[in-house]
Structure 1
């Protein structure tokens, strides 16, 4: 089995629980979260699940550069962009075709595009 990272990207606004951000409404956001949890349970039940998580807004990020004499910590995301990593799954699948099929289901559940990348094998 190969491990794959399935990642979802979105904007800072997608984290706004009051308005529902990019989902259009608070209700639509909640429905997508509930559908995503049902999808997560399917991954667990079928043995693909390794780990998953949603991330807080990009504005909560810090970047640490420990390459010099003393670490330098800056506030904010590493890259300034309109879209950021919003959440991810780590799955185990027998092949990329299975991972892509699971990503299609993930995309439908979370209502966003899902990037799929295999981990490098040793």
Structure 2
């Protein structure tokens, strides 16, 4: 498969949103996401899928006098935060849109799709 354009597909969430999902619904939601991940890993279009910790675990890191200066909490004070993201490699924007729309959460929540403009490969 020839590599194409890369995209990030992001899902936003909040603790209130997660708390509103009944406990008995989680196993099916997780199974649907795993099936999505398997399907697109096998096609070579899903490079990675990542779930983030709750916003309370976020930190801001700056450099001050040559050393890390760490502040607890996310940068923006928002009700929603990036909950997870997928890295896609697709032959066209339309294909990336189709994959984003196939994400299980897209039934009820929008998926934010961003083209990756620059890349620094990990291997030269």
Q: TM-score w.r.t. structure 1 length?
A: 0.84
Task: Tell me the SS of whatever aligns to 1:88.
Answer: strand
Quick one: structure 1 residues 61 and 108, their matched pair in 2 at CA, closer, same or farther if it must change by over 3 Å?
A: closer
Q: Which residue of 2 aligns with 1:27?
A: 24
Bigger drift between 6-15 and 107-116 goes to 107-116
Q: Is the contact made by 1:2 and 1:119 (CA closer than 8 Å) also made in structure 2?
A: yes
Q: Which residue of 2 aligns with 1:43?
A: 40
Using the alignment, how far apart are the partners of 2:106 and 2:43 within structure 1? 16
Deviations 1:2-46 (A, max 9, x none): 11000000002345xxxxx232x0121221111011000000111
Q: Is the contact made by 1:36 and 1:109 (CA closer than 8 Å) also made in structure 2?
A: no
Q: Which residue of 2 aligns with 1:4?
A: 7
Q: Is the contact made by 2:33 and 2:104 (CA closer than 8 Å) also made in structure 1?
A: no
Task: Tell me the SS of whatever aligns to 2:20.
Answer: helix
Quick one: structure 1 residues 108 and 14, their matched pair in 2 at CA, closer, same or farther if it must change by over 3 Å?
A: closer
Quick one: structure 1 residues 63 and 110, their matched pair in 2 at CA, closer, same or farther if it must change by over 3 Å?
A: farther
Unaligned runs of 5+ in 1: 16-20
Q: CA RMSD in A?
A: 1.9
Unaligned runs of 5+ in 2: 120-124
Q: Is the contact made by 2:11 and 2:85 (CA closer than 8 Å) also made in structure 1?
A: yes
Using the alignment, how far apart are the partners of 1:104 and 1:72 within structure 2? 39
Q: Which residue of 2 aligns with 1:18?
A: none
Q: Which residue of 1 aligns with 2:122?
A: none
Q: TM-score w.r.t. structure 2 length?
A: 0.83
Q: Is the contact made by 2:10 and 2:111 (CA closer than 8 Å) also made in structure 1?
A: yes
